[in-house]
Each structure stands twice: as structure tokens, then as C-alpha cells.
Chain A
Amino acid sequence: MSGQQAVLRIPAGTSELKEVSIQPSVIVAGDHPAGLLMAEHLADLGVAVTLMVPFPTLEEVVAPYRVIASADESVAGLLQEVAERVSQHAGITRVTQADLVDISGWWGDFSVQARIGEDLKTFHTSGIAMAYRGNPVDLPGIPVQEGVLPFTDFLSGINLQTGALAGKAESPKQVVFLLDAGERDEKWASVAAIRVGVFLKRKFGTQVFILCRELKVSVDEMEQDYRAARESGIIVFKYRQTPRVEKGSGGLRVVFEDAAAISSHGPSEITLDALDVVVAQERLGLSEDRAEVLRKLRIPLEDGVAGPNNPQFTGRTPKKGVVVAGDAWFPEYPTDAAMTALSAAQELYKWVGKGTYQVDAYRVAEVDPSKCATCLTCFRICPHDSIRVERYGERNVYITQGAKEGATWEAARVKIETCDGCGLCASECPAKAIQLIYYPDMEVLDFLAKNL
């Protein structure tokens, strides 16, 4: 019979609400335009925003996206004036040539160390938004040689008036966009290759080839743009194995097997010769020092970015009060990155925007300090980084509590504001020193004893 089973439910009710006051202040840091969008959105909502960019001017944040913006109106609409608007916004404090070095603390009370020029300076803030641009991690399967460029370098290096790349006088005659060699499912390069390809072809007469495994067109108006690309003479190939890139006559040569060819018609190898530039889609990841900042906040990274860990929460991290957008979240096309940035900003506004916040002091874990051996198991396990051993004695010196003045190891303590009450720490604590206040072990054990 169904519905007749004994069920133990998690006790609801009796929530103990605690009022916490949160200053509505946010630090937005990063070199991705998503940061500008987040700063503007939060400042419009009345949050005191401090914007930190690692460049002397805000213009440089959007500069590498100029080519995409001239090829795509929707990106132009997003990026054209945002730097200007943000640089004049009254609600934003702008700090230029600044980069985050270290972050500590919790939601509502972060202590942020930033390098400004040569100096280190400490800021206090309630929430943090990070929007970093990705650095090329590698060009998978493609040997680095002259004429092979990572996609982002190609986009930022191109001259809008002459179409020439940095260090060259003329625009390239033949360009190959080589996509998908990295096997990570990123669609930004497909979209950018088609739109920028049409732009280059129409403006400078460049012959563009696109080599890919799958052309990803699941973006607004992409069907029309794909058709425009075919009509303007851009040639798209699907390859089987990663193409060979080698020195050829009068430029680079790319050799690959055409996946669309019928095998009974003989060998399907295609050679593209006399190419000026091969633009290869790189894998984008955070630079080591920025990844280190995220790691210190115990935000898990996968493949150098924060996104894939919890794809259902756009821009959100397990650390309360910290959001991530731009390539640091996941490498995205600028319009998609803007959507991520706005939802991340909304998420942050939810946490810091109201001034006061009600915290449930009942649905949390609690440590019994007399049992705690400060083994740091809970600290390693907590997904929200909300349990810490607050004061350390000398390393590897274990002193029982109260044994010696000044050298005691204190017990672990739960930060009630950020605890979500998942019970992971309680289930792993070897000393059984942690209990969920709302759902102690005894309830489960009693239920088992009574019903079995």
C-alpha cells in the first residue's frame, strides 16, 4: 500500500529570526564589461558601488570588444556607451589600476585587499562581484607558430579602420577560424566567428573560412546571421580530427578531413593554402592569481572557471555575498555574458540591497566547544565557508582548551548569517561536536528505534 509508510519530516516552524544590518555597499572588480554592467545596475538600485578596474581608464574594459560591437548591433547597444555612463555615474566610486589581491570575511563584512598602482589598500564591503576576462589557457592540439592567433588576441588586435592586425600594414586576405578543438562546449566563438566574419568580408573583402565540429547557432537572430554568412561567401567546413596547421607556400596551410564528404567518393582531405592568419578558439580560464583569490574564498573552480560547478545558479557562488560574471563564470558571447551579469547583480542586490536582513538562527548548525578538537574537518567540508576555527595556536601544537593562557586553540564556530543548515559538517564531525539545532541526531535515532 502506498502512503502508509512511517515518515520522519524535517521540523518546520519555530524559526528564530535575527535581524542583521547590512550596509548596502558592493565592490565590483574586474576587466570584463560584465563588471561595468553590474556596477551600473547596482548603483541604479541605490547600492554604494566601488568599481575597481586594472586599467587607467574604463574605456579599456570594453576596447577588446569593439570589433564584435561593430559587427553586431546588439553588442554595440550594450557596450557602446556603458563605459561613458559608468564613468559619470554619481553612485559609483571608481578606482583605476586596481586589482583584488586578497578577500576575507563573510557576507556583510568582507575585508578586501587591493593593489592600487604600487600600494596595497584595504576596503570593507558587504558584497563582492567579480567579472574577469579569461586568459588563453591553451590552443588545444594546435602548435604555436607565427600566424596562429588565439581568438581573443585576434579580436583585440584588429584595427577597425584598416582591418589590419597589430604590426601589419594591410588587412589579411584569407583568414581561417578554427573552432571547437578544445572540446569544451562554448558557443561564443561560433557566434563571434560568423558575425565578425561577415563584417570582415563586407568591409575589407577578406575571405573567411570557418572550421568546426558543430556550428552553434542557438542565439538570438543567429539563423539570419548564418544565412548572411553563407550569402556573403563565408565557407564553413566540419572536420573530423583536429586539423593540421603547417607552413605552406605564401603563408600557412591547414589540412583536414571533411566530415561532410561521402567516403565512397575517395579521400576527403581538404587543403587550404596561402592563409594569412589562423584564428584558433582557445580555452579561456582565469589567470593564476585571480584563481587564487577565488580559491581563498573556497569557491570551487572547474577547468579554470567557476560556472560548471552549479549550472542552475547563474552567476552565484556557494559563498554568500559573492557573485562571479564574465569569463570567470563561463566564457560567453557578450550578450549572454550581460544576461549573466544582470542576474548576478540581482542576486547580490537580494543579499545586500535592503539594509537589514532577517537571518534564521534556528535552521543552522551549532558547535559544542567542549567537544571540539579543532581538527578542521568541518572547515574543509562546509560548502559555504561559514564555519571557521577562529584563533590558531602555533602550528601543529595541540593544547587542550584552557590549558595555557594565550596559546589555546578555540573551538570551531558557525557563522549563523551564512549557514544554510545542510548538516554536512555535523555528519562528518569525528567528535560529534556539531548538531543541527533544528534537527538534532536524537530525532533521527529515536525515529529509527521506534519504527524498526
Chain B
Amino acid sequence: MVSKNPKIVAFCCEESGMPAYEHAVSLGLDLPDGLKVVALPCGGKAETGYLMKALDEGADAVMVFACYEGNCKYVRGNIRAEKRVNYLRERLEKIGLSPEKIVFCPVAPASGQRFAELVQREVDTLLGA
């Protein structure tokens, strides 16, 4: 059962996700209190262990914020992250959990608005489910 204030862990690429989060904060956009932000040097560093550990510790959802395809500073880190997330979503479905618990979100560094929207959408999905 998801509480009214879901816990969401956002793994943010240092090049895109983190600036987007900071942009959202500087714009004063509404972000849920349950949001925990973990900066990573690259979206591709969001390893399966981190994502599953977060769910294991009681997070309601995990989001990976990385760069758009073709924009990765490390050539293919974002593609790796996306593949990993898709793999985990499959696994979650197989063990009977909602795949919406792990999502991959490409963002641009200056898109705080989109960051906040994506987090809000995730909250809505969780509460609606």
C-alpha cells in the first residue's frame, strides 16, 4: 500500500539530472517531500544493485534521470542505464510487482520544469495504482 506521501529515490546523472533538479529547486517548483536525490557521475552508474536496494529499503519508486540519447559525455552511459531499467522492469513484472516502480527519464540540464512534472507524474501513477 502506497502512503499519501510516497518515497521516491531519484538517481540523477551529474551532467543532466542534477542540474535539472537544482533548476527545479531554484524555480521553486513543487517537489514531494518524499523525494530523495542521489547524484551519480553518469546515469550509467545507476547499477542494478542501487536500484533494487532502494526498493528493498522501502522506496515506493525509483527514477533514473539521465541524458538524452546521443548526449552522453561517456558516449553510451545513458543507453546502458535505460537497458538496465528496462531489464529490471521486466523482472519486477515477473515477480508480480508494478513495473512503474522503476522508470527511466531522459532530461536536459536546464529542464527543471520537466523534472518536476516527471516526479509529479510518478507520484500520480503510484497513488492511482
Contact = CB atoms under 8 A, between A and B. Distances in A.
Contacts of B76: 383
Interface residues on B, range: 35 or more
A248 B38 CA distance: 68
Interface in B78-122: 80
Best-buried of B14, B30, B39 by chain A (most CB within 10 Å) = B39
Contact of B45 (A4, A8, A383, A423): A423
Contacts of B39: 7-10
A215 B36 CA distance: 50
B45 A422 contact: yes
A4 B34 CA distance: 9
B42 A424 contact: yes
Interface in A76-125: none
A448 interface: yes
A452 interface: yes
Contact of A448 (B29, B42, B54): B54
Contacts of B36: 5-8, 447-448, 451-452
Interface in A415-452: 420-424, 426-428, 436, 439, 441, 444-445, 447-449, 451-452
B50 A428 contact: no
Contacts of A439: 41
Given A2-B24, A428-B47, A423 B75 contact: no
B50 A422 contact: no
Given A3-B25, A5-B36, A452-B7, A444 B50 contact: yes
A441 B47 CA distance: 10
Nearest to B29: A2
B71 interface: yes
B63 interface: no
A445 B9 CA distance: 12
A452 B59 contact: yes
Contacts of B44: 422-424, 427
Interface residues of A, number: 38
A6 B8 CA distance: 11
B14 to A, nearest CB: 6
Nearest to B7: A452
B71 A312 contact: yes
A309 interface: yes
Nearest to A5: B35
Contacts of B71: 312
Contacts of A427: 44-47, 80
A422 B41 contact: yes
Contacts of A63: none
Interface string A284-312: 00000000000000001000000011111
Contacts of A428: 47, 80
Interface in A1-54: 1-10
A262 B30 CA distance: 53
A46 B16 CA distance: 38
Given A7-B39, A8-B38, A300-B75, A424 B9 contact: no
Nearest to A439: B41
Given A5-B35, A9-B39, 8 more contacts: A2-B25, A7-B36, A383-B76, A384-B74, A444-B40, A447-B38, A452-B9, A452-B58
Q: Which 5 A-B pairs give the minimum distances between C-beta atoms?
A: A427-B47, A423-B45, A452-B57, A383-B75, A422-B42
